[in-house]
A and B are shown apart, each in its own frame.
With several copies, the nearest count.
Chain A
Amino acid sequence: MQEKIATLSEAIELVGDGQVVALQNMATQAAPMALVRELIRQQKRDLALIVLVGGMAVDWLAAAGVIDRLIGAAVSMEQFGLCRQYRYAVEAGRIKVEELSESVLNARLGAGARNLPFLPTRGAIGTDLIARNPDNLKMLDDPFGGHPVLACRALVPDVALVHAHRADRYGNVQYEPTILWPDIGIMPMAAKRVIVTAEEIVDTEILRRNPDRTRLPGFIVDAVVEVPYGAHPTSFFPNYTYDSGFHREWAEAARDRATATAFIDRYVRTPSSQQEYVDAVGDVSELSTIQTAEHSG
């Protein structure tokens, strides 16, 4: 196996302006936020972002002018409200949205992973999503005479960004027992390149103890970076919960372009490392959750 260890900076240098970037994220859960901050620090431009349910990451990338297209099923910080900077950018026409239902997004990514031109679903039939997206969604007759299906064209991200509990230096990626959303499965499987941050880099021997928990084989991973609290301020169970105070602070700052920019300057552009970011945030250790019996194997 080949070594894939990189710094945040080296890893994000693999992302080119204008590329299609798939991002792990579910509202307030499990986004590779250290990679998101590095996208902003490196001033990437014109990225298209794929999310299942995007949260603060989308708002930051919108505020910083990194993305001009969003492909996804929803954007929301749930209890902390809509993503206002994203919303304003869409309403101003600066970000174009390709809205897909979950089963359609899954089908598009699944076709990308499998090198199929499309996969079908029966979801979203009858909605306006189809007419808005004729390049990628077409009704298709069943060759066996049944109901027509919605053919969803293959979507191949240029790069997928994910955060994991642990990885080895060869890029084998492991998660603790957790809900497996599509963003840690089909998104990286479909992507041309995969960049991983992990709470810790461990010896391969550790992974071999629980081969059922390894989700991505090293040979599809291009770079792996050790980043403790790499998902902060989103949650990363069982390690830590989402940072409510930080989410509220951002939700307030995001009401206005100037305060949003000041927030991003303070927490994203100024800290030059994950440690400086964590120091700027304050005490994150209180977010750590107690690993309960049902989470340990």
Chain B
Amino acid sequence: MTTDWQSSPVATDYAVDELMITTLAGLFKNGDQACNGMASFIPVSAFMLARLTHAPDLVWLASAAGLDPRPDRVPASTLEAPLWRDSVMYIEQYGDFWNLALNGRWIQKFCVGAAQLDRYGNANNSVIGDDYDRPQVRLPGTAGLADMGSIGKQLYFWNPNHSPRSLVEKVDFISAAGYLDGGDARERLGLEGGPEVVITNLAVMDFHPVSKQMRLQSVHPGVTVATVQKATGFELLMPEGSVPETAPPTEAQVRLIREVIDPDNMRKRGFRGG
């Protein structure tokens, strides 16, 4: 654990991917269990950062498969063996992983990207378009996200391209249950957990505790509320009072990300110009 990360001055030289990583990392508590899926460079960087700073006991199930690994850096794939190097345990998937995952007590937090996310945090990674059998765009598919949305996890969405195409009034297909129609719709199906936070390249959003509508939590330094609203396909709820600015990384955090965690800049993938 690097001990100087908290006393380090706020960084002035940082990129938005680094801001997203430090913001996400700040949401992990010591002792949480967290896992990543494929193409998850932002969450993987955030886990590694959290473990190096405030949450050394964050339990990481790399690719949902390798327990507490020690990759020497973020590798080119977050679903290949270099990521789960030096694991303490290989978690067998059909039985053991889903025993742990379906049991609401374990793996509290799941970080994921979504091609579309709507006002109530419903996610779509399946199809764009109205005709499921002849879609405009066939997306990769829901993989484990459809499960994670229904089994008591806190979902942390990350989105490198905040736009009216990715944040939409209503998703074309519900690949993962968010708050459905809002209010107590999840409770009525007996579903615990749900979307917690959305971190984009412009802002951080959460969900109103009663209506379950997406709500602006903070805007990134240099981004206006109007810019965020214009880039969103529905009207965002506003927090009470003024909208705060997302806390920037410290110099130590940026240094850890650039020099220790991800010297190959894998985290830039998926970002425009990245």
Contacts and interface: CB of A to CB of B under 8 A. Distances in A.
Determine whether A and B are in direct contact in the complex, meaning some CB atoms lie less than 8 angstroms apart.
yes
A271 interface: no
Interface residues of A, number: 77
A125 B191 contact: yes
Contacts of A87: 137-138
A220 B88 contact: no
Most chain B CB within a 10 A radius of its CB, from A73, A92, A168, A177: A73
B81 interface: yes
A114 B103 contact: yes
Nearest to A147: B190
Contacts of A220: 100, 106
Contacts of A96: 133
Given A96-B133, A123-B150, A177-B90, A1 B142 contact: no
Contacts of B101: 103
Nearest to B150: A125
A219 B106 contact: yes
Contacts of B191: 125-126
Interface in A213-249: 214-215, 217-220, 235, 237-238, 241-242, 244
B235 interface: no
Contacts of A116: 102
Contacts of B95: 185
B134 A114 contact: no
Contact of B136 (A91, A99, A148, A178): A91
Given A106-B94, A208-B87, A211-B90, A126 B174 contact: yes
B155 to A, nearest CB: 13
B239 interface: no
Contacts of A260: none
Contact of B89 (A172, A185, A235): A172
Given A115-B103, A126-B189, A217 B89 contact: yes
A189 B96 contact: yes
A189 B85 CA distance: 25
B42 interface: no
Contact of A91 (B88, B125, B134, B174): B134
B80 A242 contact: yes
Interface stretch (B19-27, B63-71, B157-165, B220-228): B63-71
A211 B66 contact: yes
Given A1-B68, A93-B133, A106-B98, A128 B175 contact: yes
A127 B102 contact: no
B138 A102 contact: no
A211 B89 contact: yes
Interface in B73-96: 76-81, 84-96
A53 interface: yes
A180 interface: yes
Interface in B98-142: 98-104, 106, 125-126, 132-142
Contacts of B79: 26-29, 53, 78
B244 to A, nearest CB: 32
A179 interface: yes
Contacts of A215: 89
Contacts of B184: none
B98 A103 contact: yes
A108 B138 CA distance: 23
B169 to A, nearest CB: 16
B257 interface: no
Interface in A57-82: 72-76, 78-79, 82
B231 interface: no
A56 interface: no
B208 interface: no
A99 B126 contact: yes
Contacts of A182: 93-94
Contact of A76 (B38, B66, B67, B152): B38
A114 B99 contact: yes
Interface string A18-54: 0000000011110000000000000000000000010
A204 B87 CA distance: 10
Contacts of A110: 94, 99
Interface centre among A90, A128, A178, by most B CB within 10 Å? A128
A39 B210 CA distance: 48
Interface string B137-156: 11111111111111110000
Given A1-B68, A93-B133, A99-B142, 19 more contacts: A73-B144, A74-B141, A75-B141, A78-B77, A114-B103, A115-B152, A122-B151, A123-B146, A123-B148, A123-B151, A127-B174, A178-B90, A179-B91, A189-B96, A189-B100, A208-B87, A214-B90, A244-B76, A294-B86
Interface of A: 1-2, 26-29, 53, 72-76, 78-79, 82, 86-87, 90-93, 96-97, 99, 101-104, 106, 110, 113-116, 121-129, 132, 147-148, 168, 172, 177-182, 185-186, 189, 204, 207-208, 211-212, 214-215, 217-220, 235, 237-238, 241-242, 244, 289, 292, 294
11 contacts: A78-B38, A97-B133, A116-B102, A123-B150, A179-B93, A207-B89, A211-B66, A212-B90, A215-B89, A241-B81, A294-B85
Interface of B: 31, 33, 38-39, 57, 59, 63, 65-68, 76-81, 84-96, 98-104, 106, 125-126, 132-152, 173-177, 180, 186, 189-191, 269
